[in-house]
Structure 1
Amino acid sequence: MPMTRTRTTTHPATARTRLGARIVALLSAVGVALGAPAAPGSAATPRAVSPAPRIPLPAAMADTGGGTQLLTARARTTGATTGTVRWWQRHNGRWRQVGSAPARFGAGGLAEGGSRVQGTATTPTGLYDLPFGFGTAPAPPGTTTPYRRVGAASWWCEDNASASYNRWVEPLPPDCAAGESERLAGYPTQYSRALVIGFNYHRPVRGRGAGIFLHVHGKGATAGCVSVPAGAMARILSWVRPSAHPHIAIGTVSGPTALTRH
């Protein structure tokens, strides 16, 4: 018996639907190739954007003291009593951060160094050198900056009437009143290790302020100095090199006392 063939007929509407789908797919492919916007509801992959390079703080400053080592002590505003100390090294013309630590400032906040008034418990803003270190404890290993050990007769004269105003004295001279000076051994925690900040030091102006140091934290804000934790103070003393002409810049994030204005 011969095989019977069954004829299949496609309905015209179905054929038109399939043709339309092929056309839509083709147009979509052409649109993608030409960079057309994605169809509504489709997920577009965002293009990766590289973040802008971050400029080191010293590179944004007008003056860093001319050396290759710099400490920056920055508070958010002049009314702040806390902030951050960072230390930086310049190599081949580029600054890199070596370390950082939480900092405390004067109980009266910060004040512009050129017009600061003694007895206001304010930390002077500005750019200063670091003449020498001192402490009741030995200098940490690796220290090369000049370092003086505090003894029972070591004082910092802060008497405006004294010829030794804003100087280390040992013993206390007759013209320097003890009540207006600091006996350094009386602060074994804060002055366990410290660096003299060269504020009003080389050509002292009477009444502007004396005894401004970078020293170890006490119980709270300072009387005008900058303080950091004991471990940070030891690392800083081991790091500073007289040959690198280190300086410290003290200031705020913005405004007239901003660090970038130095």
Structure 2
Amino acid sequence: MSARSIRPVHSVHGGPRLAAVLLASGLLLTGCGAAAVDPGPARGGTAADGGGAAGPDTAVGAGSVGGAVGRSAPEPPPAGPKAIPGLGPRTLAAIPAGTDQAVVATGVGRNRNTGTVLVYERDPVTGWAPVTDPWPAHNARRGWSDDHTQGDLRTPIGVFGLTDAGGLLPDPGTRLPYDRGPAFSVSGTGFLGESLAGSFDYVVAINYNRVPGRTPLDWTRPLGSGKGGGIWLHVDHAGPTQGCVSLPRGRMKELLRLLDPAKKPVVVMGDAESLRR
């Protein structure tokens, strides 16, 4: 803090005596603009009318004796890394710290069997950002469940790893382990009478009630058979599924090429309201 030089004040009603009064009041002191803001409540007005006195946390208006008291504008907080939109704190907390790739599958209602899928990737500085457009998707006929059981025709809600792939057709270029074989053949019709042929041409196993690191065809159920299993991402057949999430054929091939084991990919899936928790 420093005192400004004092110039004689000439007035028919005060002269030098008025200057001395002003000096005593402290109004000629300059403020520290970068000082921390006083934690006490701010009062408006001027130093002359009692609304505040010049001190280490205030500044006198420049060029005006007894000018308005001002404070430094607070610095805006730095922007943090971006989170995946639409996901609440509980869902975000379920994504492992080392995961940098997330397939988000969601629908607008708990009992709906249509929705969208987007793939996100995480930058260590800027956070999560989409790397695809929204893709149309189907899920189970009766919608979603956070307590999935065998045969309930609902897709389990949650965050699950994606470690293993396979299909009837040759590997389209995925970095995941890929099991190809005739056991991925499927026939018959779906709930809308649509053909199921080709649905398992490309699949990615969702690590719900299964052992990671094994073929999607492995039927080991760590939680017991009553909790269901065999939940996959697979080729869409233009209708709802038993419990899987299905994507158009071209999108399944694109997804297989995108998934990178080094980024520890997961699927985040459920109805929009559940994922906001």
Same fold (TM > 0.5): yes
CA distance, structure 1, for counterparts of residue 199 and residue 180 of structure 2: 14
Alignment partner, residue 149 of structure 1 = 180
Do structure 1's residue 63 and structure 2's residue 94 form an aligned pair?
Answer: yes
CA distance, structure 1, for counterparts of residue 157 and residue 179 of structure 2: 26
Do structure 1's residue 131 and structure 2's residue 150 form an aligned pair?
Answer: no
Q: Which protein is richer in helix relative to its size? A: 1
1:1-262 matches, cutoff 5 A: 56-57=84-85, 60=88, 61-66=92-97, 67-93=99-125, 94-99=127-132, 100-112=134-146, 115-141=147-173, 143-151=174-182, 154=183, 184-187=184-187, 188-202=197-211, 203-254=222-273, 258-261=274-277
Identity %: 29
Cα contact 1:58–1:95 (8 A) shared by 2? no
Are residues 58 and 79 of structure 1, via their aligned partners in 2, closer, same or farther at CA, if it must alter by over 3 Å? Answer: closer
Are residues 59 and 121 of structure 1, via their aligned partners in 2, closer, same or farther at CA, if it must alter by over 3 Å? Answer: closer
CA distance, structure 1, for counterparts of residue 104 and residue 83 of structure 2: 15
TM (norm. structure 2) is 0.58
CA distance, structure 2, for counterparts of residue 250 and residue 191 of structure 1: 20
Are residues 81 and 120 of structure 1, via their aligned partners in 2, closer, same or farther at CA, if it must alter by over 3 Å? Answer: same
With a CA cutoff of 8 Å and minimum separation of 6, indicate the structure with the bigger relative contact order. 1
Equivalent residue letter for 2:142:
G
TM (norm. structure 1) is 0.61
SS at match of 1:116: coil
Cα contact 2:163–2:265 (8 A) shared by 1? no
Q: Aligned residue pairs: how many?
A: 172
CA distance, structure 1, for counterparts of residue 269 and residue 87 of structure 2: 15
Runs in 1 of length 4+ with deviation above 3 angstroms?
Answer: none
Cα contact 1:217–1:228 (8 A) shared by 2? yes
Q: CA RMSD in A?
A: 2.0
CA shift digits 1:193-212 (9 cap, x unpaired): 01000111132322110210
Cα contact 2:185–2:198 (8 A) shared by 1? no
The answer for unaligned runs of 5 or more in structure 1 is 1-53, 155-183
